[in-house]
Amino acid sequence: MILESGDKILVVHRRLFDKDENRYFVGTVEAFESGIARVTGYSFVRDFIGGLVFRKPDPRTKLLSISSGTLLVYVLSKEVPIEALEFVVSDDGGVTATDGKSLHMNLSEKPRDGHL
């Protein structure tokens, strides 16, 4: 099985247009069947003006079509504390997901200083 109950995932909504802002969702898989995942966690949105990424305060349960082609799904270590996850925006606009400890995932779409 691709995803199992208890897996933690980071979902990046694929930008379909140049002006689309990045949207992220981090959560724990409750169930997975036929390409659809039921996931409970937190939504994050990027502020259009300031560029910072904010977590919406209330947890949500979403049904995500993993096979839709509009989502990038990353499986995280089960030890990553979802409540501690944040998105740090660098001066050049790059975004890194971090828990402040072991997870530091570069989510930038463009090379920064020659590195992705």
Q: What is the pLDDT of residue 116?
A: 47
State how far the alpha carbon of 77 is from the alpha carbons of 8, 27, 80, 83, 104, in Å. Answer: 7, 12, 6, 14, 12
Of all residues in the chain, the percent with pLDDT exceeding 90 is: 53
pLDDT at 104 over 50: yes
Q: What is the pLDDT of residue 23?
A: 85
Mean pLDDT of 55-70: 92
Mean pLDDT of 64-69: 88
Please tell me which of 7-16, 36-45, 88-97, 98-107 the model is most confident about, judged by mean pLDDT.
36-45
Domain positions in the chain: 8-106
Chain-wide mean pLDDT for the chain? 86
- pTM of the predicted protein model: 0.85
Residue 98: strand pairing partners = 86, 104
What is the spatial distance between Cα 100 and Cα 105, in angstroms, rounded to a whole number?
11
pLDDT at 49 over 80: no
Burial category of 81 from C-beta neighbours within 10 Å (exposed 0-12, middle 13-18, buried 19 and up) = exposed
